[in-house]
Amino acid sequence: MQTLHVDLGERSYPIFIGEQLIDRGELLSRHIRGKQVAIVTNDTVAPLYLERLSRSLAAYSVTTVILPDGEAYKNWETLQSIFDALLTARHDRGTTIIALGGGVIGDMAGFAAACYQRGVDFIQVPTTLLSQVDSSVGGKTGINHPLGKNMVGAFYQPQAVLIDTSTLTTLPARELSAGLAEVIKYGLICDEPFLGWLEANVDKLRALDQAALTEAIRRSCAAKARVVGADERESGVRATLNLGHTFGHAIETHQGYGAWLHGEAVSAGTVMALEMSRRLGWITASERDRAVRVLVRAGLPVVPPANMRAEDFLQHMAVDKKVLNGQLRLVLLKRLGEAVLTSDFPREVLEATLNVNYDALMQESRT
C-alpha cells in the first residue's frame, strides 16, 4: 500500500492506494469518529463490493443506501433519497457517510455529507479509474442541473480516500478508457514526462496491469493533491485541472447526461482545447497530434458529436462555472505540460475552433 497526503492544514487527509483495501476496515476506522456509518453506493457496485465493505465495518451501526446507477440520476430527487435514508435511520451529527462507487456516487454522497445537519464526515472509496484519479480527491461535491453540469454543490473535503485498485478488474472497458482521459490530462497540464510514461504504458493500463495502474493512479493523485493543496477553492491554478472540461461539459449537457461518459466528453473537449491552443500559436500541430494519439490509443473519442453546432457549444459554455464577470475563461496549453486559464483570446479563434471539421482533422493528423 502507498499513502499520499492532501495538505490542507487541519483538514488534511490521506489517500491510501493498493490492492484489496476494501477489506481493511482499520484503515477507515481511524477516520470514523462516531458509531454510525452510512454507505452510499449504486445498484451496479453494491452486488460487487457492498458486503465486503460492510463486513470490514462490522463494529459500527451501518445503514446502506443503494441508488440507481448513472449520470442521469445525479439530481435533487436522488440526493433527497440519501437524506430520507439518513433521517429514517436516525443518523446524528456524529455519523460518517462513505461513498462507494464512481464519480456520481462520490459527488452526491459528498454533497449530502456537506448538507446533512449542516455537515457530517465522509470518506471516499472510489471504484472507477476516473473517480480514483480525479473526483474522489479535492472535495468537489454536487449534482447536475438541466442547464449545466455540476452547477449546484459545495467544496467539502473527505476524511480519507481509500483507493482499492483491484476494483478496476470489474470495470467495463469503456469506463476504464473514460478514466484514462483524466489520467492523460495530468501529463498534458503539468507533467510532460508523465505523458511520455503514458505513451509507453497505455496498453498495459488497458490490459489492467496492476503495477502500471498503481503507478498511474499514484502520479495522478500526487499531481491533484499538489494543486488542491495550493488552491483548494479553484481561484487560480486548480482551474487548470479542467482542461477539455468546458467543451466536454457542453457535450454532456447537450447530449443528455449519461449519453457520453464524462471521460469521453472530456477527451473530445481536450482535442478542441488542443486545436485552439494550436490556433493561438502556443503549441504546434505535431504536439497536438502527439496528445491526440495517446487519447486514441486509450480507446477514447477525439471528435465531438456530429449533431452539435458552434451555437450549441456557445450556449452551454455560457453557463460554465469558469465564466467570470460575463467572460468565458478556458483552460488551454502554453506547451505540453503547461496549462493556463485565460479569457485572453480573440472571439474569432474560439469560433473557428468550434467550426472545425474534426473528422477531417483527425484523418489529416494520422497521415
Instruction: Please report, in range form, the residues annotated as the binding site for NAD(+).
Output: 69-74, 103-107, 127-128, 140, 149, 167-170
Q: Which residues of 124-148 are buried (b: 16+ CB within 10 A; e: fewer)?
A: bbbbbbbbbbbbbbbbbbbbbbeeb
Whether 334 is catalytic: no
- Mark whether 204 is an active-site residue: no
Coil, strand, or helix at residue 197? helix
Q: Which residue out of 31, 42, 91, 140 is catalytically annotated?
A: 140
Active site residue 226: no
Active site annotation includes 224: yes
Residues annotated in a binding site for Zn(2+): 182, 245, 262
Exactly one of 234, 252, 264, 275 is catalytic; name it: 234
Which uninterrupted H or E stretch holds 154?
strand 148-155
Query: Could you give the CA distance from residue 268 to residue 307 in angstroms, rounded to a whole number?
Result: 14
Please name the helix (run of DSSP H) or strand (run of DSSP E) that holds residue 63, with its range, or none. strand 61-67
Contact of 131 with 100, CB cutoff 8 Å: no
Catalytic residue among 91, 219, 238, 278: 238
Side by side, the strands of the sheet bearing 36-42 are 2-6, 13-18, 161-164, 121-126, 96-101, 36-42, 61-67
The 8-class DSSP code of residue 190 comes to T
185 flagged as catalytic:
no
**Residue among 91, 185, 219, 249 flagged as catalytic:** 249
Q: What share of the chain is helix, strand, coil (3-state, %, to 5)?
A: 55, 20, 30
The active-site residue, picked from 91, 245, 279, 290, is 245
CA separation for the pair 169, 208 (Å, rounded): 7
Q: Where are the alpha helices (DSSP H) in 234-284?
A: 245-255, 262-279
- Containing H/E element for 317? helix 310-317
The DSSP secondary structure of 120-136, one letter per residue, reads -EEEEEE-SHHIIIIIT
Q: Which of 77, 118, 307, 348 is catalytic?
A: 118
User: From the candidates 31, 224, 279, 316, which is the catalytic residue?
Assistant: 224
What is the greatest pairwise CA distance in the chain?
A: 63
Category of 262 on φ-ψ map: left (φ > 0), alpha (ψ -120 to 50) or beta: alpha
Contact 123, 60 (CB under 8 A): no
Binding residues: 69-74, 103-107, 127-128, 140, 149, 167-170, 182, 245, 262
Of the candidates 31, 91, 182, 215, the residue annotated as catalytic is 182
Which residue in 185, 262, 290, 329 is the catalytic one? 262
Is residue 249 annotated as a catalytic residue, yes or no? yes
Return the residue matching grid coordinates 499531481.
223
Known catalytic residues?
A: 118, 140, 182, 224, 234, 238, 242, 245, 249, 262
